[in-house]
């Protein structure tokens, strides 16, 4: 079984731009969660999608949004990028929203 894939792996943007990141979960997994990882804050939960519906949301501003498609693939979007958005963005999938999650390799975003 293929693992969780994320594209692109690396991205450089400038302040004010927007970005869309993509995540393909493990086949058969219906839950996709997104996390932001920075050296200072560690891994922080952004949101979780299950069957195309946002089921959980972390404490991030509205500039961070996401969606999930009928094939369980998910995208997250960040608008009006700020320098502080530079981070590794990780997505994780699970079968049915259980707590055991499998992570992708992440997208490294650098905002200049």
Q: Would you tell me which residues interact with other proteins (CB under 8 A)?
A: 4, 6, 31, 33, 35, 41-45, 48, 50, 55-56, 58, 90, 92, 94, 97-106, 108
Cα–Cα–Cα angle for 46, 77, 107, rounded to 5 degrees: 75
DSSP state of 48: E
| Least Å from the CB of residue 82 to other proteins | 22
| Percent composition of the chain: helix, strand, coil (DSSP 3-state, to 5) | 5, 55, 45
Nearer to other proteins (CB atom), residue 45 or residue 75 = 45
Residue pair 11/22 in contact (Cβ under 8 Å)? The answer is: no
Nearer to other proteins (CB atom), residue 16 or residue 61 = 61
| Least Å from the CB of residue 2 to other proteins | 14
CA distance 45 to 39: 15
| Least Å from the CB of residue 101 to other proteins | 7
């Amino acid at each position: 079984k293929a693992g969780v894939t994320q594209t692109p792996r690396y991205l450089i943007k400038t302040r004010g731009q927007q970005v869309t990141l993509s995540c393909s979960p493990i086949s058969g997994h219906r839950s996709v969660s997104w996390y932001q990882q920075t050296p200072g804050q560690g891994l922080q939960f952004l949101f979780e999608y299950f069957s195309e519906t946002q089921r959980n949301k972390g404490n991030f501003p509205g500039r961070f949004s996401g969606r999930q498609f009928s094939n369980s693939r998910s995208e997250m979007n960040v608008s009006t990028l700020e320098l502080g958005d530079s981070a590794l963005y990780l997505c994780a999938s699970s079968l049915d929203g259980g707590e055991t999650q499998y992570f992708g390799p992440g997208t490294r975003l650098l905002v200049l």
